Amino acid sequence: MTQGERRGPGRRTMIGAAVLGSAALTATAAAGAAQARTGGHGHGPRLPVPAVIAHRGASGHRPEHTLGAYQLALDLGADVIEQDLVPTRDGHLVCRHENDITGTTDVADHPEFASRRTTKTVDGTAYTGWFTEDFTLAELRTLRAKERIPAVRQENTLYDGRWAVPTFEEVLRWADREGRRRGRPVWLHVETKHPSYFRKLGLGLEEPLAALLRRHGRHRADAPVFLQSFEPGSIRRLARLVAAPRVVLLSDAKSRPWDFTEAGDPRTVADLITPAGLKEIARYAQGIGPTLDLVIPRGADGRLGRPTTLVRDAHAAGLVLHPYTLRNENSFLPADFRRGTDPNAYGDAFGAYRAYFATGIDGIFTDQPDTGLLAAADHRAAQG
Ligand code: G3P
Ligand code: CA
């Protein structure tokens, strides 16, 4: 197999990482909440609530994690643009969802790299393909990016081969440039991928990430950036290196963060999303990025059930919520919002946004930020 997807009140203005609106704050959460509210962001740039985060760029319209996908997201008006980071053999951070680049580049068409195809176990799962950590940056830059899911997003294949794999440094330079041109900062949402795996290879992600953030002035608590990881240990390490706001990603309730698995820590996501677990997260992070299903579970029929208490509990702990990922295509939407029988056709994404925004989330990851922005504007208008 190749490495694929992780299965995965009122108008408010968010100052930086968070304005918690009417969220009730407990005394014990007050310090964390204050940090989340101001977090050094009190005098920093503003984000709307709910913020629309372009997942891997405007990945519903362009091959993901390309400068084309990031530029389109920005041009569409996305509030925040996401990068996933993995390293090259010589330690450069590049933007890919996986270190296995088989599905998102033309590496298989390069005979000079045929011998690099191999099988590796990443976070307990075996994958066969080509991996970024086996390529120098110079070698990786000879490849071209392509659409991950061409059967679903045929139109995006028009852009196959148009862009290279971007380095994170290149993205920072682009964001600086666009920020100056527009007169307001370009917000980024940056994820460390498989941090324990890479550290064992001598390719720790957090130190080079912190160095780049520092070089581009994005290391402070009021910087227009969120740092995210599915491994709480990576977020804790980043907290020691930079003050920029941090978000702990949460997969399904039964799953266990990989660094917990490696450390023999039996806790699962279900433990992390208890009020006590959230208070613990608030000691080193300003937000959580849960799956949408942790916010509103889906029943066996794929339809939305009743919202959980996660939004209330996270806000009470002083944490913002940036759930992932809403996509317009029927196959990704809750059954309530599918239209017709074509899994690749768009369903009623606006209906889905209404349901999720009604829970009080602070932002949302989406592959189609243009749809998300209209939905967010509808939500704010409805709230008066
Ligand atoms: O980082 C938020 C969301 O992107 C998490 O899922 O697997 O797409 O990185 P993934
Ligand atoms: Ca991500």
Which of the pair, 267 or 30, is modelled with greater confidence? Answer: 267
Average pLDDT of 12-32?
A: 33
Ligand nearest to the CA of 98: 1
Which one, of 323, 368, 365, 377, lies nearest residue 349 by Cα?
Answer: 368
Instruction: From residue 22, give the alpha-carbon distance in Å to each of 11, 71, 318.
Output: 11, 35, 11
Residue 41 among the catalytic residues = no
Query: Do you know the residue count of the chain?
Result: 384
Q: Where are the alpha helices (DSSP H) in 116-257?
A: 137-140, 168-182, 195-200, 206-215, 232-241
Checking if the pLDDT of 161 tops 50, the result is yes
For residue 68 the two structure tokens come to 């084309």
**Sequence spans of domains, the chain:** 2-87+148-382
Q: Which amino acid residue places its CA nearest to atom 2 of ligand 1? A: 324
Q: Which amino acid residue places its CA nearest to atom 1 of ligand 1? A: 191
Task: Give the span between the Cα atoms of 139 and 306, in whole angstroms.
Answer: 50
Residue 55 among the catalytic residues = yes
Closest ligand 1 atom to residue 53 Cα is: 2
370 CB less than 6 Å from ligand 1?
Answer: no
Position 22 scores a pLDDT of 26
Question: pLDDT > 90: what percent of the chain?
Answer: 88
Q: What is the pLDDT of residues 240-250, one digit of tens each?
A: 999 999 999 99
Checking if the pLDDT of 40 tops 50, the result is no
Mean pLDDT of the chain: 91
Q: What is the pLDDT of residues 279-320, one digit of tens each?
A: 999 999 999 999 999 999 999 999 999 999 999 999 999 999
Question: pLDDT > 70: what percent of the chain?
Answer: 88
Among 41, 55, 61, 322, the active-site one is 55
Which CATH code for domain 2-87+148-382?
Answer: 3.20.20.190
Which of the pair, 12 or 271, is modelled with greater confidence? Answer: 271
Closest ligand 1 atom to residue 6 Cα is: 7
In eight-state DSSP terms, residue 227 is E
Instruction: From residue 178, give the alpha-carbon distance in Å to each of 118, 136, 210, 320.
Output: 39, 28, 21, 26
Checking if the pLDDT of 149 tops 70, the result is yes
Please check whether residue 105 is in contact with residue 143, taking contact to mean a CB–CB distance below 8 angstroms.
yes
Checking if the pLDDT of 39 tops 80, the result is no
Position 384 scores a pLDDT of 87
Task: Give the span between the Cα atoms of 312 and 298, in whole angstroms.
Answer: 19
Q: What is the pLDDT of residues 188-228, one digit of tens each?
A: 999 999 999 999 999 999 999 999 999 999 999 999 999 99
Position 46 scores a pLDDT of 82
Which of the pair, 272 or 26, is modelled with greater confidence? Answer: 272
pTM, 2 dp: 0.91
Task: Give the span between the Cα atoms of 288 and 322, in whole angstroms.
Answer: 6
Q: What is the pLDDT of residues 81-136, one digit of tens each?
A: 999 999 999 999 999 999 999 999 999 999 999 999 999 999 999 999 999 999 99
Ligand nearest to the CA of 53: 1
Among 61, 65, 97, 189, the active-site one is 97
Q: Which amino acid residue places its CA nearest to atom 7 of ligand 1? A: 6
Checking if the pLDDT of 10 tops 80, the result is no
Position 38 scores a pLDDT of 30
